[in-house]
Chains A and B, each alone.
Chain A
Amino acid sequence: MPRAVSHIAGWLGLAVLLIALPHALSFSQQEVLVFLTINVLLVASYRLLTLTGEWSLGHVVIMGVGAYASALYSKQLGIYVPVSIILGALTAVLVAMVLSYPLFRMKGFYFLIGSFAAGEIIRLLWKRFRDPFGGPKGIKKINPMPDLDIGVYSFDFFEPVSYYYFALAVVTLSLWVMWRIERSPVGLTFHAVHWQDKLAQSAGVDVRAYRTRAFMIASGFAGLSGALLAHYIGTINPNSFDVELMVFVLTWAIVGGTATFYGPILGCVVLSILNEVVLRELGFEQMRPFIYGLLLICSVLFLPNGLESVVQHIMRRRTNVQAAKASRAGDSARYNVEERTEP
Chain B
Amino acid sequence: MVELLAQTCLNALYAASYMSLVAVGLVLIFGVMGVINFAHGELFMLGAYAVVALYADLQLPFLFAVSAGLVFVGVVGLGMERALFRPLRNNPLGGLVASIGFLMILQALAVMGFGVRMEHVPPVTQEVITFSEKVHLAMPRLFVIIAAVILLTALWAFLTKTRFGWALRASAQDPEAAALQGISINQTSRIAMFIGAGLAGVAGALTAPLVSVNPHMGHSVIVTAFIVIIVGGVGSLEGAVVAAVAYSLVHTFVTTFYDGVIADIVGLSLMLLVLIVKPTGLFGTADRA
Contact = CB atoms under 8 A, between A and B. Distances in A.
* Binding partners A and B: yes
B94 A300 contact: yes
B100 A247 contact: yes
A120 to B, nearest CB: 6
Interface residues of B, number: 40
B258 to A, nearest CB: 10
Contacts of A113: 36, 226, 230, 271, 275
Contacts of A297: 84, 98, 101-102, 105
Interface string A236-257: 0000000110010011001000
Nearest to B261: A128
Contact of A296 (B92, B97, B109, B276): B97
Interface stretch (A187-195, A202-210, A287-295, A326-334): A287-295
Given A297-B98, A301-B88, A287 B272 contact: no
A244 B98 CA distance: 14
Contacts of B150: none
A125 interface: yes
B282 to A, nearest CB: 15
A289 B97 contact: no
A110 B289 contact: yes
B76 to A, nearest CB: 14
A106 B100 contact: no
A121 B269 CA distance: 8
Interface string A95-135: 00000001001101110111011101100110110000000
B11 interface: no
B257 to A, nearest CB: 15
Contact of A243 (B102, B219, B272): B219
A293 B108 contact: yes
A221 interface: no
A120 B272 CA distance: 11
Nearest to A287: B108
Nearest to B215: A289
Given A55-B93, A110-B279, A300-B98, A124 B105 contact: no
B101 A114 contact: no
B104 A116 contact: no
B104 A117 contact: no
B275 A114 contact: yes
Contacts of A301: 84, 87-88, 98
A287 B235 CA distance: 36
Interface string A266-307: 000000000000000000001101101111110011001000
Nearest to A114: B275
Interface residues of A, number: 38
A106 B276 contact: yes
Interface in A66-109: 102, 105-106, 108-109
A300 B261 contact: no
Contacts of A117: 226-227, 268, 271-272, 275
A250 B108 CA distance: 18
Contacts of B93: 55, 109
B154 interface: no
A155 to B, nearest CB: 37
Contact of B289 (A108, A243, A294, A296): A108
A247 B112 CA distance: 19
A124 B264 contact: yes
A290 B94 contact: no
A286 B230 CA distance: 34
A301 B226 CA distance: 25
Nearest to A112: B96
Given A121-B268, A121-B269, A128-B265, A290 B100 contact: no
A293 B272 contact: no
A294 B101 contact: yes
A125 B84 CA distance: 35
Contacts of B104: 244, 247, 289-290, 292-293, 296
B84 to A, nearest CB: 7
A93 to B, nearest CB: 20
B275 A128 contact: no
A300 B88 contact: yes
A294 B264 contact: no
B107 interface: yes
Contacts of B272: 102, 114, 117-118, 121
Nearest to B97: A300
Contact of B265 (A108, A125, A296): A125
Interface string B247-281: 00000000000010110110011011001100100
A300 B101 contact: yes
A106 B268 CA distance: 16
9 contacts: A55-B93, A109-B289, A110-B275, A120-B264, A120-B268, A124-B261, A247-B103, A292-B101, A297-B84
Given A293-B100, A301-B98, A304-B94, 6 more contacts: A102-B272, A109-B92, A113-B226, A247-B103, A294-B105, A300-B98
